Amino acid sequence: MDVNLKFNKPEVDILINRIKARNLGLTVTDISAVLESAFSGRRLAYFIMNGRQYQVISQVGLPERQAPTDITKLYVRNNLGNNIALSEVLDMSPYANPPSLYHFNRYKSATFSASLGDGKTIGDGVIAMQKISEKLLDESFQTSLSGPSRDYAESSSNVGFAFILALLLIYLVLAAQFESFKDPFIIMLTVPLAIAGAILSLWIFRQTLNIFSEIGMITLIGLVTKNGILIVEFANKKRALGLSKYEAVVEAATQRLRPILMTSLATSLGALPIALSLGDAASSRVPLGVVIVGGILFSLILTLFVIPAIYTFVSGRHKSQEEIDNQFK
């Protein structure tokens, strides 16, 4: 870890004890004049010698101005003509300051930068830095990310918004297609099953939750809902023929098992090369493949049991084909 705010510039703060100076017959102007004459190097005049012009500089010799304690060796004359040592009226406080101050958004700032440890991601580093700032900094301090950390934070928030928007958009499309708000809800239950499988797969294969895995989770929304669509749509058709909820959904799960298996296995096998890190510079995309393969296979197993069970409890009443025919007579 490194920080650009380094207190490595030694300085000395000199304070005049005004009460003691007044008691000794000194003024602040007298003390300032002595210090200025000894250390300022101010030009007082010129003189000419051997045809050349030289400057008259007010300053003590170099050996007598090397250390801050050399100030205490000086004397100042009071209003009675007595010489008073400056050590009697000065208080010196040594401290350190940064050689330069940096600003960010017009505020004084310090930049902390660190390298990631083995097996750690930018997300882990951002979380660790946030915990440290909450523990050490009070309300008068503000923190802000920059560089790759800032890109990660912005992309994560955008991915979360895209995930919610994708869920809402698919739900509205399904609601329009099925002309119902209950059936799309049943279908959308495949999404949390797939997300659970994706997170479990990341944990099993020791992958991290990053921008690639988050994109994979958004992709899963469209890939796994088709399993629920196949079952619910077929069950609705069977109920229109007069079957009960239980009979219709059982037959739908049985009849649609083969297309669900074929599409799910085809999709997971297509993403398998990404999960296996095959190809040049493919290691960064491994979480994407792991999320897709694990999420699809996990939802494939549970969809065949969860969707029919939820359908029998949530699905609303559907008109039979005979009722539909009578409606148009």
Residue with tokens 């040594």: 94
- What is the pTM assigned to this prediction? 0.59
Last residue of a domain, one of 52, 86, 113: 113
pLDDT of residue 6 exceeding 70? yes
Rounded Cα gap, residues 88 and 6, in angstroms: 34
In a domain, 240, yes or no: yes
pLDDT for the residue numbered 318:
56
Q: Do residues 81 and 166 both lie within one domain? A: no
Q: What is the CATH number of the domain that holds 250?
A: 1.20.1640.10
Q: Do residues 191 and 285 both lie within one domain? A: yes
Q: Do residues 164 and 239 both lie within one domain? A: yes
Q: Do residues 82 and 173 both lie within one domain? A: no
- For 281, residues 6+ apart whose C-beta sits below 8 A from its C-beta are none
Q: Do residues 313 and 179 both lie within one domain? A: yes
pLDDT for the residue numbered 11:
82
| % of the chain residues with pLDDT over 90 | 2
The partner residues of 58 in beta bridges, in order of sequence, read 42
Q: Do residues 25 and 70 both lie within one domain? A: yes
pLDDT for the residue numbered 316:
61
For 26-71, how does the pLDDT look when each residue is reduced to its tens digit (9 = 90+)?
888 888 888 888 887 778 888 888 888 888 887 888 787 778 778 8
In a domain, 159, yes or no: yes
Q: Do residues 50 and 191 both lie within one domain? A: no
Q: Do residues 190 and 238 both lie within one domain? A: yes
Region 140-147 average pLDDT: 81
Q: Do residues 293 and 220 both lie within one domain? A: yes
For 264-280, how does the pLDDT look when each residue is reduced to its tens digit (9 = 90+)?
899 888 888 888 876 65
As for how many domains the chain has, the answer is: 2
pLDDT for the residue numbered 41:
76
Q: Do residues 152 and 245 both lie within one domain? A: yes
Last residue of a domain, one of 55, 90, 113: 113
Checking 218-222 for CB contacts under 8 A at 24+ apart, the result is 218/159, 218/162, 218/163, 218/166, 219/291, 219/292, 220/191, 220/194, 220/195, 220/291, 220/292, 220/295, 220/296, 220/299, 221/163, 221/166, 221/167, 221/170, 221/191, 221/194, 222/166, 222/170
Rounded Cα gap, residues 308 and 298, in angstroms: 16
For 179-188, how does the pLDDT look when each residue is reduced to its tens digit (9 = 90+)?
888 888 888 8
In a domain, 42, yes or no: yes
pLDDT of residue 149 exceeding 80? no
Range of the domain at 322: 148-327
